[in-house]
Structure 1
Amino acid sequence: MSDKFTAFAKLHVPGQPLILFNVWDAGSAVAVERAGAKALATGSWSVAAAQGSHDAEALPIDLALANATRIVAATDLPVSIDFEGGYASDPGQTAANVSALAATGAIGCNFEDQVIGAAPRTLYAIADQAGRISAIRQAVGPAFFINARTDIFLVAPADAHDAAMVDAAIDRAHAYADAGASGFFVPGLVDLALLERVCKASPLPVNFMAFPGAPAADAVAATGVARISHGPGPYRLAMKALADAARAAFA
């Protein structure tokens, strides 16, 4: 396990990003590993959809942990799990939940700063989220890769993204790093100039989320990004291929 933790962390190289083609179950994990993946990561939306559920922690935590266990058992690669907001708001309970995730053999997780279920969409205050990250770090030890996700760029449309929002994100990057985070995830940010500013100022390796219409991987890599995730895209592609094949069979 220690080798997996180290190997995964070393794959985060600014300008030469780790590509994570997100999986949702053991079968998809095996397929992506055989395709040449260096590491695996789940997307919570895909995991939930594959179980007939919804994102935002609607999938019960016991099912999420059981799914993580099966994925880890199916592969020799390091596996990171999208664990949303940790299935709790209290730092102690959040830390206990992430400890249970670590016990599955996962080497890391995504951990977001959006308040799950809040309407309108709301982020935890920086100090509160940093406290949650700190509690997790104390519970899981120094090697577990906590990919701290900020939803700043998801709660506002892309045409509203500006330098002030980047400054706010950078403040969070520093606070999360001080609290013990390992990486910084900025889904929704696609403006390459703004992304480059984040990469230059962040003390943590930066994670970009790819999706149809987003900038190409080489352009994203040039900003200094160290990790590119594909989120729910792979699941949607697979389900489209399945539906197309089914329609052809029924024709």
Structure 2
Amino acid sequence: MSQAEKAKEFAALHVKGNPVILYNAWDAGSAKAIAEAGAKAIATSSWSVAAAQGYSDGEDLPIAIAEQIVARIASSVELPVSVDFEGGYSDDDHQLAANISKLLDLGVIGINFEDRIVKGKGLYDIDRQANRIAEIRRAAEHKGIPLFINARTDVFFRNSGDVEEALQREKAYAAAGASGFFIPGVTDADQIKRIASEATLPVNVMVMEGLPSNEKLATLGVARVSYGPIPYIEAMDELQKKVWALPFDPKRADK
């Protein structure tokens, strides 16, 4: 299957009321395990990818290392691969386009792209973020790939449940060329239902405390459910439990 075909296949998975479930990966090994378990696509979590390399989230992971990890994931699985690319690693539109082009060269067919100012404060204003999304769309079109741009808004992390602003941003991001609308932080069923009903883009939510079940989210009109850093956290917790369960060897402790 070609890269463009994978992109179209990935987009088709986003069905309102029948959400695609994405159990997020952090390296080639976790991506292969998720694929072998029957997943329809692979999506990374920036938090998990950074943590697995000893870095904090927020573009602290050097882009060169991030690209190496993405390349290994894309070459290790046959499934469509979407990357959590945070703020694109640049505030400059030309560099942003170059960064996106590099991801496309690695085989990526989708990205998460957030409106938080990663190395600053607050969110980009709506028009500025829309322009950034449009720049990404142009870069993807230049490569001939229908990149799935999952436009993330951090409104529910920053402005405490401002549904009106979220919908304003969704409208602008859709007009700029976004493919999906990602609203992490929202957990209220009524808010999710309203956004899903009024948005023109397929809506993506992230699993966190207080979020309704996947079955309930389907009835609310959600098209994509992401598990974010949960898989990595659970895997590391299980690893620690295994280590603590090992018998204590005083000879090893002395070395």
Aligned mate of 1:76, from 70, 75, 78: 78
Is 2:224 aligned against 1:219?
no
2: CA distance, partners of 1:99 / 1:223: 35
Quote the residue 2:165 is aligned against.
168
One-letter amino acid of the counterpart of residue 132, structure 2: R
TM-superposed CA distance for 1:2, in Å, is: 2.0
1: CA distance, partners of 2:135 / 2:4: 21
Q: Which ranges of 4 or more aligned residues in structure 1 deviate by more than 2 Å?
A: 211-214
One-letter amino acid of the counterpart of residue 209, structure 1: M
Instruction: Provide, for residues 45-93 of structure 1, a one-character-per-residue CA deviation record: whole Å limited to 9, x for no partner.
Output: 0000000001000000011111000001110000000000000112221
3-state SS of the aligned residue for 1:136?
A: helix
3-state SS of the aligned residue for 2:34?
A: helix
Quote the residue 1:154 is aligned against.
157
Count of matched residue pairs: 243
TM-superposed CA distance for 1:117, in Å, is: 2.2
Quote the residue 2:189 is aligned against.
192
Instruction: Assess if the C-alpha contact under 8 Å between 2:148 and 2:180 holds in 1.
Output: yes
3-state SS of the aligned residue for 2:208?
A: coil
> What fraction of aligned residue pairs are identical, expressed as a percent?
50
1: CA distance, partners of 2:242 / 2:97: 43
2: CA distance, partners of 1:89 / 1:203: 27
Instruction: Assess if the C-alpha contact under 8 Å between 2:46 and 2:86 holds in 1.
Output: yes
1: CA distance, partners of 2:101 / 2:41: 21
Quote the residue 1:25 is aligned against.
27
Quote the residue 2:252 is aligned against.
none
User: TM-score if structure 2 supplies the norm length?
Assistant: 0.93
Quote the residue 2:115 is aligned against.
113
One-letter amino acid of the counterpart of residue 152, structure 2: R
Quote the residue 2:40 is aligned against.
38
One-letter amino acid of the counterpart of residue 242, structure 2: A
Matches within 5 A, 1:134-149: 134-141=134-141, 143-149=146-152
3-state SS of the aligned residue for 1:76?
A: coil
Instruction: Provide, for residues 140-159 of structure 1, a one-character-per-residue CA deviation record: whole Å limited to 9, x for no partner.
Output: 11601100000000124xxx
Structure 2 segments unaligned to the other structure (5+ residues): 249-255
User: TM-score if structure 1 supplies the norm length?
Assistant: 0.94
Instruction: Provide, for residues 193-214 of structure 1, a one-character-per-residue CA deviation record: whole Å limited to 9, x for no partner.
Output: 0111111111110001012442
1: CA distance, partners of 2:99 / 2:247: 44
2: CA distance, partners of 1:188 / 1:212: 10
Is 2:226 aligned against 1:229?
yes
Quote the residue 1:180 is aligned against.
177
2: CA distance, partners of 1:40 / 1:212: 23
Instruction: Provide, for residues 92-132 of structure 1, a one-character-per-residue CA deviation record: whole Å limited to 9, x for no partner.
Output: 211111111111101010000000122xx400000000000
Quote the residue 2:88 is aligned against.
86
TM-superposed CA distance for 1:218, in Å, is: 0.8
Instruction: Assess if the C-alpha contact under 8 Å between 2:188 and 2:211 holds in 1.
Output: no
Instruction: Assess if the C-alpha contact under 8 Å between 2:17 and 2:223 holds in 1.
Output: yes
TM-superposed CA distance for 1:240, in Å, is: 0.4
One-letter amino acid of the counterpart of residue 74, structure 2: V
Matches within 5 A, 1:40-59: 40-59=42-61
2: CA distance, partners of 1:130 / 1:96: 18
2: CA distance, partners of 1:166 / 1:208: 14
2: CA distance, partners of 1:242 / 1:65: 26
